[in-house]
């Protein structure tokens, strides 16, 4: 599952947030043997912090969310970062006249089975349109990435890693001021899912 690729993109933004966390608070409370509702708020904070750290470490999004990724120009083959892609909503670009255009979806093909997903022109001799020279973020691609809409679709190893991170952080919450506690076991569980760039 560990992949190495050149992402080519310059930046991205989340345009539609996930509808839920990759692990349910009830599952976390069961793991920690916590019953009191008074701990719900702090556990929710730890869930989000652990998720953010793990997504950054793996370079994947766990629950479906819409992102917009920017490139300075079209590469020969586009690799989409952030893990499993289910839908490509649009590919837009600034043409040589600095006008924003939408690339017709009939002109390109998508491989959404592979991770990272890739996009190429359908015509093997064709190429992506030219963009405005020296314009930053001249290409923007919007798509949905994540394992699915619910925690049940997130791989068990990732959820177990999140439980370990949350558990370690919760148990030592009085001893630290800010940093999450990341154990070797958590890293071991997450490493196979990590997307590496070069």
* pLDDT at res. 134: 86
On whether the CB atoms of residues 57 and 157 are closer than 8 A, the answer is no
Does the structure show a pLDDT above 80 at 33?
A: yes
First vs last Cα of the chain: how many Å apart?
17
**Of the listed ranges 18-22, 66-70, 160-164, 175-179, the one predicted with least confidence:** 175-179
Cis preceding-peptide flag for 112 (omega within 30 of 0):
no
82: three-class secondary structure by DSSP:
strand
Residue 2 or residue 150, greater confidence: 150
On whether the CB atoms of residues 8 and 75 are closer than 8 A, the answer is yes
Work out the average pLDDT over 123-152: 92
Dihedral angle of Cα 73, 75, 79, 81, to the nearest 10 degrees: -20
* pLDDT at res. 5: 43
- pLDDT band of residue 123 (cuts 50, 70, 90) is confident
Going by C-beta distance under 8 Å and a sequence separation of 6 or more, which residues neighbour residue 85? 112, 115, 117, 143, 144, 145
* pLDDT at res. 59: 95
- pLDDT band of residue 179 (cuts 50, 70, 90) is low
Closest CA to 62 of 162, 181, 141, 188: 162
30: three-class secondary structure by DSSP:
helix
Does the structure show a pLDDT above 80 at 122?
A: yes
In this predicted model, what pLDDT tens digit does every residue of 35-93 receive, in sequence order? Answer: 888 888 999 999 999 999 999 999 999 999 999 999 999 998 999 999 999 999 999 99
């Amino acid at each position: 599952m560990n992949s190495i690729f050149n992402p080519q993109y310059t930046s991205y933004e989340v345009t539609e947030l996930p509808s839920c966390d990759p692990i349910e608070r009830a599952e976390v409370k069961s793991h920690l043997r916590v019953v009191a509702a008074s701990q719900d708020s702090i556990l929710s904070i730890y869930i989000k912090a652990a998720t953010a750290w793990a997504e950054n470490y793996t370079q994947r999004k766990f629950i479906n969310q819409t992102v917009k990724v920017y490139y300075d120009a079209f590469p020969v083959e586009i690799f989409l970062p952030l893990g499993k892609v289910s839908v490509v909503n649009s590919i837009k670009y600034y043409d040589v006249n600095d006008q924003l255009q939408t690339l017709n979806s009939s002109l390109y093909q998508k491989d959404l089975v592979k991770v990272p997903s890739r996009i190429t022109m359908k015509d093997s001799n064709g190429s992506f349109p030219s963009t405005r020279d020296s314009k930053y973020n001249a290409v923007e691609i919007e798509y949905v990435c994540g394992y699915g809409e619910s925690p049940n679709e997130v791989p068990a190893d990732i959820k177990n890693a999140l439980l370990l991170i949350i558990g370690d952080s919760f148990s030592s919450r009085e001893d630290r001021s800010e940093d999450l506690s990341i154990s070797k076991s958590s890293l071991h569980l997450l490493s196979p899912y990590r997307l590496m760039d070069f």
